[in-house]
Amino acid sequence: MICLSILGGFLVLAACDDSTPPLRDASAQTRSFRMGFSAIPPSQNVPTAVASLDMWSTRADAAIMHLDVQWAAMLNGKSAAAAASADALELSNYYRAHKLPIVLMLDVTNGLARDKEAPALVAAGRSITEPAIQRLYRDYVVAIVDVVRPSHIGLAAETNLIRAVAPRAVYDAVVRMTNDAAADLRARGVSTPLYVSVQVETAWGRLAGSGAYVGIDQDLRDFPFLGALGLSSYPYLGGFATPEAIPNEYYSRVRGTRALPLMVVEGGWTSASVPGLQSSLEVQARYVRRQAELLDAVDATAVFQLTFTDLDVSAYPQPPGSILPLFAALGMVDTQLRPKPALAAWDSVFARPRE
């Protein structure tokens, strides 16, 4: 299973001017935010996957579990509790043993093509627009929360991008099922903060948009249960030529005047050039430092990158035209776990005492 969330067929706009000055000197500061990764491995090689997990757990003070809903298992008759346990119990126990708080993010559509539904549902000829499928989701939410015992519960990923590119009925289903799931959790006495994530480049009009700032007012109306706000941000896919070109208010404008805690729950900057962007190992390291400035500016509570390592794309089956290669070089280390300059930048931020 691999969950990487961005739209295929994105619109890359012209880059901003790269003269934006740093927000402040990040050296010798504290940090408000926890830092961590997910367990996505560079390949299907189990020893390498375990070594990757052990390597990043020493430079993290939280972990994220970005999980697909286990549609196929439940459609084949497995209970939500059994499906959740099979998918997440072993890993969540590992994180707890390492004293890493877990942020949970459930993905209810296709993480690599937000205009489509989850591949398992498509393969079965089913849809989240069906009440029965929404019921499965609600049961799974309750079950996975019992298994993972997260510090934050993400009920859907990149809601604004889904609204922009998926059929309206699919977005409406996301709204309905997440609100129902939030009510289910509260009825059970679960007081854990709930959230959805929004796609920052989409909010700025730089993916699936005209380039004009859009914001997230609709998301805030449609998901009134929010106790925090997740951010998905891949600025290199939004037409920014350099990390320094990212506006100082890149995160703060999305939140606006609302008193919502902000967490970056996925994102990064490629160390390899991709169509429309020339990048490098050094540019990626500069992004890690630039992102710390943006996080400082909003007193963020957490930042997560889904991939600690680069990805061996050949190890993951992909449909024709998959955008997975755009995310192959986001890691702090390469596929052989050899450090890239970005790792030293990450470590320097992680070394700052947390408030």
CATH code of the domain containing 255: 3.20.20.80
CA dihedral 69, 74, 80, 81 (to 10 degrees): -110
What confidence score (pLDDT) does residue 27 get? 52
Residue 223 belongs to a domain: yes
Structural domain includes residue 16:
no
Contacts of 352 (CB under 8 A, 6+ apart): 26, 28, 29, 30, 31
Q: Which tens digits make up the pLDDT trace of 217-275? A: 999 999 999 999 999 999 999 999 999 999 999 999 999 888 899 999 999 999 999 99
Residue 16: pLDDT over 80: no
- Structural domain that includes position 149: 34-350
The answer to whether residues 69 and 173 touch, using CB atoms and an 8 Å cutoff, is no
Task: Quick: pLDDT tens for 182-205.
Answer: 999 999 999 999 999 999 999 999
Q: Quick check: is 9 in a domain? A: no
pLDDT at 316 over 90: no
pLDDT at residue 319 in the model: 84
Q: Please state the domain count of the chain.
A: 1
In a domain, 213, yes or no: yes
Asked if residue 23 is part of any domain, the answer here is no
pLDDT at 23: 47
Torsion angles phi and psi, residue 351, rounded to 5: -70, -20
